[in-house]
Amino acid sequence: MIFAVRFHDKPDQLTLRNALLQAHLDWLALHRDAILIAGSLREAPNQGAVGGLWIVRAGDRAEVETLVQTDPFWTQGLRDRVEIHSWHRAFDEPVTI
């Protein structure tokens, strides 16, 4: 199954985010088999991140929840909340980002 995972960071935590960024990126690299796409979300391109978005391949929601709970951004207290949704593509054509 494919899931869309939307993260909301705690307000005013850009300093913490920046301190944890390399550990988070290293962790993402270790989970490329499951996390197909990952990136930050920003109010505007030149502003700091306020959260993130992943597209994840997993057997079920519980597998996604377990994955989320091992991310340094989660374990070190950056994230305020997470939304996990089953995702279903509208188009069959491949997409290159």
Q: pLDDT, tens digit, for every residue of 33-43?
A: 999 999 999 99
Domains detected in the chain: 2-86 (3.30.70.1060)
pLDDT of residue 71: 98
pLDDT of residue 46: 94
Q: pLDDT, tens digit, for every residue of 22-34?
A: 999 999 999 999 9
Q: pLDDT, tens digit, for every residue of 38-95?
A: 999 999 999 999 999 999 999 999 999 999 999 999 999 999 999 999 999 898 888 7
Map residue 11 onto helix, strand or coil. Answer: coil
Please give the angle made by the CA atoms of 85, 1 and 64, to the nearest 5 degrees. Answer: 55
- pTM value is 0.91
